[in-house]
C-alpha cells in the first residue's frame, strides 16, 4: 500500500489536498456578499427551468408533438450536466471570481440568441449551450462554503441553496407570466439581461483568491476519478441526489402538459404560478442547514426521502382537486431541499481544498439523475399519462432509500 501511494502523482494523492492551504483563504462572508451570491445562484439556475412551463407553447408554435417539445427540457439538462462535469472543476484551478463572471457573461449572450430561435432545431442547440454555461451557481456554492467559518458552513450552504431553489421556482412563474403577455421569446431576452447585470455586480463584489490546485486541466479531471473512488460519502450522496432529483424532475417535466389538459385547462400564466407553490422548500433550506450543523445530516436526508415519497403518493389523486396538487408540490420540494442541503454539507466537510471537485461529482450525478427523470417522466406521460408519471416518481424515491435506510440497505446487500 505504501509503495503504491509513493508513486501516485501529487495531484492524484487525496491526502495532499488536506495539506495545501491558500494564502488568500478568507474565513468570513458578509451578509451583503452572502445575499448577492444567493441572488446569483437563483438567477443562474433559473436559466435551466424557464422552458418547463413553455413546453406546450413550443409544441404549438413550432407545430411539433409534445414529445418533441419535451426534448427542449432534456437538452437543457444534458448541457447542464456536461457543464457540471467539464467546467465546474476549473473552480479549484483558476480564480473562482473570474470563472463565475465569465460564465454569467457567456450565458447572457447565449440566452439572447436563444430568444431569436427560428426553428425547433435551433432552440434545441441553444438550450444545450445555455445549460452548459449556466453552472456558475455550482461554483458560487463551494466558494461560499470556502468563505464561511466551520461552525456556520451548513447555514451558509443552506442560504445559497435556498436562493438556488427560489431561482428554480420563481423562474417557472416569471416564464409563464412573460410568455403569456409578451411571448416566449422575451423570456430568454429578459433572462439574458439579468445574467449580464449580475456579471457586473459579481465582478465588483467577489473577493480575489489563490486557487489550491496547480496541475493541468487533464490532471484536474483525472483527480475526479480518485476522489470518486476514495470517498464513499460522495458516492452515497450522489446516488441519493440523482434518484431524488430524477423523481422531482419527472413531475416538473410533465406538469405543463398535465395542467393544460382536462380537468384544469390552465393558461401559461397560471401554470407558471405553480413555481411559487414550492417556495416552502426554499424557506426550509436555511432551517435545514442549521439542523445539519447541529445534528446528523442522515436524519434530514431520510426525512426528505419520506416527504418526497408522500408527495407522490398524494399526487396520484391530483385530478380530484387542485389543492391536492399544491400540497403534493410542497412536499416534493421540501423533501428534495432537505436531502439536498444535507448531502451538500456532508460533501463539503470531506476535503476543504477539493470542494469544487467534490461538488462537481455530486452535482453531475444530481443533474444526470434529473435528466433521466425528465426523460422517464416524458415517456411515462406519453404512454401511461399522469398515473405513469407518479409511478415513475415513486420508484425513484424508493431507490434513493436503498443506501440510507438501514433495513433497506441490509436487504439490498
Domain boundaries, the chain: 30-205+221-412
Find all residues with CB under 8 Å of 34, minimum gap 6, and list them.
Answer: 144, 156, 159, 160
φ, ψ at 246 (rounded to 5°): -60, -40
Q: Kindly report, residue by residue over 28-58, the tens digit of the pLDDT.
A: 678 899 999 999 999 999 999 899 888 888 9
The mean pLDDT value for 79-104 works out to 90
CA 35/CA 160 separation, integer angstroms:
8
Percent of the chain topping pLDDT 70: 84
pLDDT at 312: 93
* Alpha helices (H) along 87-231: 96-114, 120-133, 137-147, 153-182, 184-205, 217-230
Which band of pLDDT confidence, cut at 50, 70 and 90, is reported for residue 403? Answer: confident
pLDDT at 293: 54
Of residues 101 and 402, more confidence is placed in 101
Q: Would you say how long the chain is, in residues?
A: 413
Mean of per-residue pLDDT scores for the chain: 82
Render 316-344 in DSSP notation, one character per residue: TTTTT-HHHHHHHHHHHHHHHHHHHHHHH
Peptide bond into 282 cis (omega under 30): no
- Of 394, 342, 352, whose CA–CA distance to 373 is shortest? 394
Find all residues with CB under 8 Å of 408, minimum gap 6, and list them.
Answer: 401, 402
- Of 285, 207, 250, whose CA–CA distance to 369 is shortest? 250
CA 2/CA 402 separation, integer angstroms:
35
Of residues 404 and 250, more confidence is placed in 250
Do the beta carbons of residue 174 and residue 47 sit within 8 Å? Answer: no
pLDDT at 400: 87
> What does the block give as the cell for 412?
439490498
pLDDT at 124: 94
pLDDT at 291: 60
Rounded-to-5 percentages of helix, strand, coil across the chain? 80, 0, 20
Q: Kindly report, residue by residue over 321-368, the tens digit of the pLDDT.
A: 888 988 898 888 888 878 887 787 777 777 776 777 887 888 888 888
CA 83/CA 130 separation, integer angstroms:
10
CA 129/CA 193 separation, integer angstroms:
17
Domain 30-205+221-412: what homologous superfamily? MFS general substrate transporter like domains (1.20.1250.20)
Which band of pLDDT confidence, cut at 50, 70 and 90, is reported for residue 290? Answer: low
Do the beta carbons of residue 380 and residue 392 sit within 8 Å? Answer: yes
Percent of the chain topping pLDDT 90: 31
Of residues 166 and 128, more confidence is placed in 128
Which band of pLDDT confidence, cut at 50, 70 and 90, is reported for residue 392? Answer: very high
pLDDT at 289: 53
The mean pLDDT value for 120-129 works out to 95
Which band of pLDDT confidence, cut at 50, 70 and 90, is reported for residue 9? Answer: very low
Between CA 284 and CA 287, with CA 286 as vertex, the angle to 5 degrees is: 60
Do the beta carbons of residue 131 and residue 78 sit within 8 Å? Answer: yes
pLDDT at 25: 41
Of residues 316 and 18, more confidence is placed in 316
CA 74/CA 69 separation, integer angstroms:
10
pLDDT at 286: 57
The mean pLDDT value for 107-112 works out to 97
Amino acid at each position: 500500500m505504501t509503495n503504491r501511494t509513493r508513486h501516485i502523482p501529487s495531484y492524484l494523492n487525496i491526502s495532499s489536498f488536506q495539506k495545501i492551504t491558500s494564502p488568500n483563504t478568507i474565513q468570513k462572508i458578509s451578509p451583503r456578499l452572502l445575499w448577492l451570491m444567493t441572488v446569483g445562484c437563483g438567477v443562474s439556475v433559473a436559466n435551466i427551468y424557464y422552458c418547463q412551463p413553455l413546453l406546450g407553447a413550443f409544441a404549438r408554435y413550432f407545430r411539433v408533438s409534445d414529445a418533441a417539445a419535451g426534448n427542449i427540457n432534456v437538452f437543457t439538462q444534458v448541457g447542464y450536466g456536461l457543464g457540471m462535469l467539464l467546467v465546474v472543476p476549473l473552480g479549484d484551478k483558476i480564480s473562482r471570481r473570474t470563472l463565475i463572471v465569465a460564465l454569467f457573461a457567456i450565458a447572457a449572450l447565449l440566452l439572447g440568441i436563444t430568444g431569436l430561435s427560428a426553428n425547433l432545431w435551433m432552440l434545441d442547440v441553444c438550450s444545450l449551450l445555455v445549460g452548459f454555461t449556466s453552472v456558475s451557481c455550482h461554483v458560487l456554492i463551494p466558494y461560499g462554503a470556502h468563505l464561511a467559518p466551520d461552525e456556520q458552513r451548513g447555514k451558509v450552504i443552506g442560504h445559497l441553496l435556498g436562493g438556488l431553489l427560489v431561482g428554480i421556482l420563481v423562474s417557472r412563474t416569471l416564464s409563464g407570466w412573460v410568455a403569456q403577455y409578451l411571448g416566449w421569446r422575451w423570456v430568454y431576452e429578459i433572462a439574458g439581461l439579468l445574467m449580464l447585470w449580475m456579471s457586473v455586480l459579481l465582478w465588483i463584489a467577489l473577493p480575489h483568491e489563490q486557487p489550491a490546485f496547480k496541475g493541468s486541466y487533464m490532471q484536474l479531471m483525472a483527480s475526479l476519478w480518485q476522489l470518486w473512488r476514495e470517498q464513499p460519502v460522495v458516492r452515497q450522496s450522489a446516488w441519493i441526489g440523482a434518484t431524488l432529483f430524477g423523481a422531482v424532475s419527472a413531475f416538473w417535466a410533465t406538469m405543463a402538459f398535465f395542467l393544460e389538459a382536462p380537468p384544469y385547462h390552465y393558461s401559461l400564466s397560471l401554470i407558471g404560478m405553480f413555481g411559487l407553490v414550492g417556495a416552502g422548500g426554499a424557506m426550509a433550506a436555511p432551517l435545514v442547514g442549521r439542523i445539519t450543523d447541529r445534528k446528523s445530516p442522515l436524519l434530514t436526508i431520510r426525512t426528505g426521502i419520506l416527504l418526497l415519497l408522500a408527495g407522490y403518493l398524494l399526487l396520484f389523486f391530483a385530478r380530484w382537486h387542485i389543492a391536492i396538487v399544491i400540497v403534493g408540490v410542497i412536499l416534493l420540494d421540501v423533501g428534495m431541499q432537505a436531502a439536498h442541503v444535507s448531502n451538500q454539507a456532508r460533501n463539503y466537510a470531506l476535503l476543504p481544498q477539493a470542494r469544487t471537485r467534490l461538488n462537481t461529482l455530486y452535482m453531475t450525478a444530481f443533474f444526470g439523475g434529473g435528466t433521466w427523470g425528465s426523460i422517464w417522466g416524458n415517456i411515462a406521460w406519453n404512454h401511461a399519462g399522469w398515473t405513469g408519471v407518479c409511478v415513475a416518481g415513486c420508484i425513484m424515491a424508493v431507490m434513493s432509500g436503498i443506501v440510507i435506510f438501514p433495513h433497506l440497505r441490509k436487504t439490498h446487500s
